[in-house]
């Protein structure tokens, strides 16, 4: 047979990690990315501090922000040395974590059901599509009416948007499954519960993880919005608080922190996805992606 | 069971798809007997309903009228007695080759895992994929995927193998090699097989019995007994006997294919397009 096949080894997690690290270091992507960030940082410096444009005059420049961020004795109380900083980060990370767990725990089964049962989809899809365009912030009053404490409404709001995304992506994932897989499984003697467990769920998994990646991001920005409206801790709360107390450096510190934490959380989702879907990761690797 | 009787009987089977606007009859009054331990090849003009026929026998769809009997018992839904090998590979991409092969037996739990494992390994050896057992389907070439799929079907020891243009989409060389491989496999096991194809050469090479379908709605236009000696190789296609069969089959097919154009009022368009194409090539 003129078959050309790739290497046959099944590498361990650690050796895969090394392989990727080595490849990333020897690849221009990493350096180009860093260069891009440096360019952005330079422009930011240039327009705010070096040669300030009229519109940007009032904005804190990178030198001011980084001095404050890395100062052991920050002027406005928030730096990498202050305990309060980590309390706020933790409060937000915890809320996003809970929101994602709820959104995934409810969204994935619902999406699977909608993709699986035509009748169920007929009932539920219009409801979903009517609720989905309602902006998260429009829910704020009702959320506060529904939940009496300060914590739950914030989590509810952060859950909402990612829930829709998860449901939709999971449903599309089920619908994207090649019908021949289902037929083949039926031929091989699958009962409906086998089909669900061994074909529908793994078949929809790539879409579920794509949805999860989007919903991590959505969950972060609806969380920050919610924290600005209600809540007593968290990064969103801190931004609004700093605004009213005119500590603009802190606002930019929190914005950069949000960027970093957001990036880290979607990287984590990508990592988990790759571990769960080696079959897809390897196929993509063959195409050099 | 009488061995001389047909393993599978299609008795006046009809199937149509009904939409709000029109009724499209795919298969009408189709009757065909499939003999045990023989290779029955079904050939017909493209779009004549060959895949629908496979779906009916596999039990994915129900006939609107008529009966499909396996050893005298009506077919009800999909079962591992009638294994389908699909047009494009239908290996589960999230399972490796070995897991794909044991998918059926593992679910049905009719045998012990040790037994299943032993047979899977024997089959992997047979299809030449032992080394690739732990690989995922997408890491394999097209030809290897088809062999893995054959192994996945064979481990269920089906009474009837349903092959729906299984080698379509392979490159010419792999295609020929797969035919050789499949021919050898069949001649060893003599597993009853219904093989659907649209290529005359492939049909003559493989068939004991060649059923030629008419244009839509599909009926059996003729059944030819292909009486060529086994074991066969590609060489046999060069023999005068094979050539005669081919002529006979092509004539019937040509008539049916032509109807397709006439029915749709296309012969002129077709000829025009054809002559343009010719002009471009010369």
Domain ranges for chain B: 8-81+158-281
Residue A188 and residue B136: Cβ atoms within 8 Å?
no
Min distance A37 CA to chain B CA atoms (Å): 36
Give which of A11, A188, A202, A283 to mutate to test B binding, by max B Cβ within 10 Å.
A188
pLDDT at position B27, please? 86
Residue B138 and residue A282: Cβ atoms within 8 Å?
yes
pLDDT at position B1, please? 39
Q: Considering only CB atoms, which chain A residues are within 8 Å of B77?
A: 186
Residue A187 and residue B80: Cβ atoms within 8 Å?
yes
What torsion do the CA atoms of B118, B121, B123, B127 make, to the nearest 10 degrees?
A: -170
Residue A202 and residue B90: Cβ atoms within 8 Å?
no
Can you name the CATH fold of B8-81+158-281? Rossmann fold (3.40.50)
* 3-state SS, residue B92: coil
- CATH number, domain containing residue A129: 1.10.3720.10
The rounded distance, in Å, linking the Cα atoms of B157 and B85 is 13
The rounded distance, in Å, linking the Cα atoms of A182 and A195 is 7
Domain span including residue A126: 76-286
Q: Considering only CB atoms, which chain B residues are within 8 Å of A195?
A: none
Residue A189 and residue B108: Cβ atoms within 8 Å?
yes
The rounded distance, in Å, linking the Cα atoms of A86 and B168 is 60
Give which of B106, B107, B194 to mutate to test A binding, by max A Cβ within 10 Å.
B107
**Which parts of chain A have pLDDT scores under 50?**
1-7
pLDDT at position B211, please? 92
**Does residue A129 lie in a domain region?**
yes
**Does residue A135 lie in a domain region?**
yes
> For residue B76, how many other CB atoms are within 10 A of its CB?
10
**pLDDT tens-digit readout, B119-163:** 999 989 988 888 998 899 988 888 899 899 989 998 998 889 999
> For residue A117, how many other CB atoms are within 10 A of its CB?
13
Can you state the percent helix, strand and coil of chain A, rounding each to 5? 80, 0, 20
Min distance B201 CA to chain A CA atoms (Å): 21
User: Which residues, listed in sequence order, are joined to residue B15 by a DSSP beta bridge?
Assistant: B27
* DSSP 8-state symbol, B215: S
Give which of B56, B90, B95, B154 to mutate to test A binding, by max A Cβ within 10 Å.
B90
**Does residue A191 lie in a domain region?**
yes
> What residue in B sits closest to A278 (Cα-Cα)?
B94
pLDDT at position B232, please? 87
Q: Considering only CB atoms, which chain A residues are within 8 Å of B103?
A: 185, 188, 198
Residue among A189, A223, A229, A209 nearest A278 (CA) = A209
Mean per-residue pLDDT of chain B = 85
Kindly state the tokens that stand for A170. Answer: 């999971």
**Does residue A96 lie in a domain region?**
yes
**Does residue A35 lie in a domain region?**
no
Min distance A181 CA to chain B CA atoms (Å): 5
**Does residue A126 lie in a domain region?**
yes
Q: Is A196 on the interface with B (CB under 8 A)?
A: no
**pLDDT tens-digit readout, A145-202:** 998 888 899 999 999 989 999 999 999 999 999 999 999 999 998 888 899 999 999 9
Task: For A99-167, give the DSSP string.
Answer: HHHHHHHHHHHHHHHHHH-HHHHHHHHHHHHHHTTS-GGGGHHHHHHH--SSHHHHHHHHHHHHHHHHH
Q: Is the ipTM of this complex over 0.90?
A: no
Cα end-to-end span (Å), chain B: 60
pLDDT at position A87, please? 93
Residue B139 and residue A6: Cβ atoms within 8 Å?
yes
Residue B144 and residue A6: Cβ atoms within 8 Å?
no
The rounded distance, in Å, linking the Cα atoms of B219 and A249 is 81
**Does residue A156 lie in a domain region?**
yes
The rounded distance, in Å, linking the Cα atoms of B111 and B102 is 11
Residue B93 and residue A277: Cβ atoms within 8 Å?
no
Nearest to A187 among B84, B88, B134 (CB): B84
Q: Is A198 on the interface with B (CB under 8 A)?
A: yes
**Domains held by chain A: number:** 1
Q: Considering only CB atoms, which chain B residues are within 8 Å of A6?
A: 139
Residue B138 and residue A186: Cβ atoms within 8 Å?
no
> What residue in A sits closest to B57 (Cα-Cα)?
A187
Q: Is A177 on the interface with B (CB under 8 A)?
A: no
Residue B101, φ and ψ in degrees, nearest 5: -65, -40
Give the CA radius of gyration of chain A. 23
Task: Please answer whether residues B183 and B232 qualify as being in contact, where contact means their C-beta atoms are separated by less than 8 angstroms.
Answer: yes
For residue B56, the number of C-alpha atoms closer than 13 Å in the C-beta half-sphere is 29
Nearest to B177 among A1, A198, A277 (CB): A1
Min distance A175 CA to chain B CA atoms (Å): 16
pLDDT at position B69, please? 87
Residue among A256, A266, A221, A254 nearest A40 (CA) = A256
User: Given the structure tokens 């949000």, which residue do they identify?
Assistant: A258
**Does residue A273 lie in a domain region?**
yes
Q: Is A7 on the interface with B (CB under 8 A)?
A: no
CB within 8 Å of B231: residues ≥ 6 apart = B183, B184, B187
Nearest to A202 among B94, B135, B173 (CB): B94
Task: Please answer whether residues A88 and A237 qualify as being in contact, where contact means their C-beta atoms are separated by less than 8 angstroms.
Answer: yes
CB pairs under 8 A between A and B: 103
- Order the strands of the B39-43 sheet from edge to edge: B82-85, B160-164, B193-197, B39-43, B209-213, B220-225
Q: Cα–Cα distances in Å, from A137 out to A98, A221, A223?
A: 19, 11, 10
> For residue B201, how many other CB atoms are within 10 A of its CB?
15
Task: For B61-91, give the DSSP string.
Answer: S--SEEEEEETTEEP-S--TTEEEE-SS---
Reading phi first (left if > 0) and then psi (alpha if -120 to 50, else beta), residue A156 is in: alpha
> For residue A111, how many other CB atoms are within 10 A of its CB?
30
Nearest to B136 among A180, A186, A279 (CB): A279
Mean pLDDT by 10 residues, chain B (282 residues): 68 83 83 90 84 89 89 87 86 92 90 90 89 90 89 90 88 89 89 91 91 85 86 88 89 81 56 56 44
The rounded distance, in Å, linking the Cα atoms of A13 and A15 is 6
Q: Considering only CB atoms, which chain B residues are within 8 Å of A188?
A: 80, 83, 103-104, 107-108, 152, 156
């Amino acid at each position: 047979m003129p078959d050309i096949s790739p290497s046959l080894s099944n590498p361990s997690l650690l050796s895969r990690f090394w392989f990727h690290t080595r490849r990333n270091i020897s690849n221009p992507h990493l350096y180009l990315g860093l260069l891009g960030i440096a360019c952005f940082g330079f422009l930011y410096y240039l327009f705010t501090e070096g040669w300030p444009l009229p519109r940007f005059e009032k904005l804190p420049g990178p030198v001011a922000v980084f001095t404050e961020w890395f100062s052991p004795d920050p002027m406005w109380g928030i730096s990498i040395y202050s305990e309060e900083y980590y309390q706020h980060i933790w409060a937000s990370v915890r809320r996003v974590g809970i929101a994602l767990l709820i959104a995934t725990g409810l969204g994935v089964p619902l999406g699977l059901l909608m993709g699986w049962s035509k009748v169920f989809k007929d009932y539920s899809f219009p409801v979903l599509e009517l609720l989905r365009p309602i902006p998260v912030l429009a829910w704020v009053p009702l959320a506060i009416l529904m939940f009496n404490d300060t914590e739950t409404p914030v989590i509810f709001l952060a859950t909402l948007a990612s829930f829709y995304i998860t449901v939709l992506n999971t449903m599309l994932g089920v619908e994207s499954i090649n019908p021949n897989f289902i037929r083949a499984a039926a031929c091989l003697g699958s009962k409906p519960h086998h089909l669900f467990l061994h074909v529908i769920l793994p078949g929809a998994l790539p879409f579920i993880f794509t949805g999860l990646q989007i919903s991590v991001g959505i969950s972060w920005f609806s969380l920050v919005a919610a924290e600005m409206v209600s809540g007593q801790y968290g990064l969103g709360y801190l931004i609004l608080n700093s605004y009213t107390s005119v500590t603009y450096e802190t606002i930019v510190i929190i914005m950069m922190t949000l960027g970093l934490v957001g990036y880290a959380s979607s990287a984590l989702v990508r990592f988990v996805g790759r571990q769960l879907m080696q079959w897809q990761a390897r196929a993509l690797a063959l195409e050099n992606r | 069971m009488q061995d001389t009787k047909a393993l599978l009987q299609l008795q006046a089977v009809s199937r149509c798809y009904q939409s709000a606007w029109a009724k499209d009859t795919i298969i009408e009054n189709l009757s065909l007997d499939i003999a045990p331990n023989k290779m029955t090849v079904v050939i017909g003009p493209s779009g004549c309903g060959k895949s629908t026929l496979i779906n009916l026998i596999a039990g994915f769809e129900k006939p609107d009228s008529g009966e499909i009997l396996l050893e005298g018992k009506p077919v009800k839904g999909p079962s591992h007695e009638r294994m389908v090998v699909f047009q494009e590979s239908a290996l589960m991409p999230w399972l490796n080759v070995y897991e794909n092969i044991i998918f059926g037996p593992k679910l049905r739990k009719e045998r012990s895992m040790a037994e299943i494992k032993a047979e899977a390994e024997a089959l992997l050896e047979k299809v030449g994929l032992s080394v690739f057992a732990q690989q995922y389907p997408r890491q394999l070439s097209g030809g290897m995927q088809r062999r893995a799929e054959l192994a996945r079907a064979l481990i269920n020891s089906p009474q009837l193998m349903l092959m729906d243009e299984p080698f379509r989409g392979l490159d010419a060389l792999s295609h020929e090699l797969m035919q050789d491989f499949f021919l050898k496999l069949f001649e060893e096991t003599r597993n009853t097989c219904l093989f659907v194809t649209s290529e005359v050469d492939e049909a003559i090479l493989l068939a004991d019995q060649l059923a030629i379908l008419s244009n839509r709605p599909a009926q059996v236009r003729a059944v030819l007994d292909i009486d060529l000696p086994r074991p066969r190789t590609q060489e046999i296609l060069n023999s005068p006997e094979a050539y005669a069969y081919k002529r006979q089959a092509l004539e019937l097919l040509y008539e049916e294919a032509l109807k397709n154009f006439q029915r749709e009022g296309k012969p002129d368009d077709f000829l025009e397009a054809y002559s343009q194409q010719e002009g471009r090539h010369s």
